[in-house]
């Protein structure tokens, strides 16, 4: 009996540490193949690249924990980024424009939540539809062309291209978001409700949890995270691209799954999502350093996702 308990504890520990070990092994392999990987300038560049995917994936973690999915995050990123760029170009204060952009992202996400809770639509179908709608709205708003002439606002440039204590600002924003959402998910009632809904929605309803309200707020949170990522990209490029964010939902879902969150909901940690985002980023960065074609990179990422999902099924 005691040996069985120890084995179960060991399995649980390996399950939690699995993503971290995978990241360390991947970093060692890439470093052996190309020592330039561990150069400080490359590591900072890696973290800056990871920050956008991590922000989206943090919001996606909440969604997947409830057993849902959000395919619209890439389109939300593009639309909110375009709207912010348009507001700044028209003379609106950049800080106010960015705040409005995040609110718009929350509203777009809440629409997903309402379609799922009140409209009784499957999350995949609802967010697939809004993904198309939001992308179309972006193309209509921009007329299919990039929005330039945003101006030289220090604050706006600082968000995507600035440094604080020699650390890229997007990385600092990622860390702040991680800490806030970690507390929300693991230390507050809202997080417990999120896990409860994903674990057993019927039991959660009987326990008095307002499922529709919680789900709508979670999808709104996902939209807000996507809009923050969109603002960072717009700031970094100093323009809003109507095609921004394409396929970003796939990288975000991959980061969540690689981090150990179950696609069926109820199990997972936001720390695991951060590690998953770092794995995806390290994979992309390493393949670039090794001169691997972007076409082959897509194949490799797809294989990694398949392995992660199969491991998730095996654990269950």
2-29 confidence digits (pLDDT tens): 565 555 655 665 566 778 888 999 899 9
| Contact indicator for 52, 228 with CB cutoff of 8 Å | no
**Token output for 312:** 């998730």
Q: What is the pLDDT of residues 153-180, one digit of tens each?
A: 889 999 999 999 899 999 999 999 999 9
| Cα 289 → chain centroid | 24
Give residue 300's pLDDT.
82
Using 50, 70 and 90 to split pLDDT, how confident is the model at 263? confident
Q: What's the CA angle centered on 110, arms 192 and 185, to 5 degrees? A: 20
Q: What is the pLDDT of residues 78-135, one digit of tens each?
A: 999 999 999 999 989 999 999 999 999 999 999 999 999 999 999 999 999 999 999 9
User: Which residue has better confidence, 151 or 143?
Assistant: 143
pTM score, whole prediction: 0.92
Separation of alpha carbons 127 and 146, rounded Å: 25
Pick from 316, 315, 287, 291: nearest CA to 301: 287
Separation of alpha carbons 288 and 281, rounded Å: 11
Separation of alpha carbons 270 and 180, rounded Å: 11
Could you give the percent of the chain with pLDDT greater than 70?
A: 93
Give residue 149's pLDDT.
79
């Amino acid at each position: 009996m005691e040996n069985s308990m120890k084995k179960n504890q060991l399995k649980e520990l390996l399950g939690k540490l699995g993503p971290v070990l995978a990241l360390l092994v991947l970093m060692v392999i890439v470093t052996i193949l190309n020592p330039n990987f561990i150069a400080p300038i490359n590591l900072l560049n890696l973290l800056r690249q990871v920050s956008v995917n991590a922000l989206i994936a943090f919001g996606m973690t909440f969604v997947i924990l409830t057993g849902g999915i959000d395919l619209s995050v890439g389109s939300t990123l593009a639309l909110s980024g375009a709207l912010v760029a348009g507001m700044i170009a028209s003379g609106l204060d950049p800080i106010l424009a960015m705040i409005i952009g995040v609110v718009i992202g929350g509203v777009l996400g809440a629409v997903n939540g309402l379609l799922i809770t009140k409209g009784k639509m499957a999350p995949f179908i609802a967010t697939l539809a809004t993904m198309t709608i939001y992308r179309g709205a972006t193309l209509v708003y921009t007329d299919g062309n990039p929005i330039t002439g945003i101006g030289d606002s220090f604050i706006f440039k600082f968000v995507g291209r600035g440094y604080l204590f020699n650390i890229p600002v997007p990385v600092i924003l990622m860390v702040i978001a991680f800490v806030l959402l970690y507390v929300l998910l693991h230390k507050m009632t809202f997080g417990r409700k999120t896990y409860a809904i994903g674990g057993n929605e019927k039991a959660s309803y009987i326990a008095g949890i307002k499922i529709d309200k919680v789900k709508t707020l979670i999808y709104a949170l996902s939209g807000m995270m996507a809009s923050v990522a969109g603002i960072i990209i717009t700031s970094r490029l100093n323009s809003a691209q109507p095609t921004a964010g394409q396929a970003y939902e796939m990288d975000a879902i991959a980061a969540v799954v690689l981090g150990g969150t179950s696609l069926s909901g109820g199990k997972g940690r936001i720390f695991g999502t951060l590690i998953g985002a770092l794995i995806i980023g390290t994979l992309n960065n390493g393949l670039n350093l090794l001169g691997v074609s972007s076409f082959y990179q897509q194949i490799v990422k797809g294989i990694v996702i398949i392995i992660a999902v199969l491991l998730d099924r095996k654990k269950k």
